[in-house]
Amino acid sequence: MTKLTKTTLFKAARPRAETAMDKTARAVREILDDETERRKIKTERLRKTRLEREALTPAVEPKAKPTAAAKKPRAKPVK
């Protein structure tokens, strides 16, 4: 019987060749991940800027809307 060692007991699986579809999927994932990261960074930057601007700007109370005068009913046509 043969002697069991790491190399004979656990055979390393051969890496399979990357197909064109695998290459495309990997490239798309990398592009989407990069876009997502840039969008998150931009959103954080804009949120921070907005919060700073809101903190420095005094709150403006909305002016009371003038009450509209009662509208007259439309005149009915005379027969």
Q: What is the mean pLDDT of residues 41-68?
A: 86
pLDDT in tens, 19-51: 999 999 999 999 999 999 999 999 999 999 999
Output the six-digit token pair for 44.
């954080």
Cβ atoms 15, 9 nearer than 8 A: no
Percent of the chain with pLDDT over 90: 47
- pTM for this one? 0.51
Q: What is the mean pLDDT of residues 63-72?
A: 69
Cβ atoms 8, 14 nearer than 8 A: no
pLDDT at 15 over 70: yes
Give the pLDDT score at 70: 65
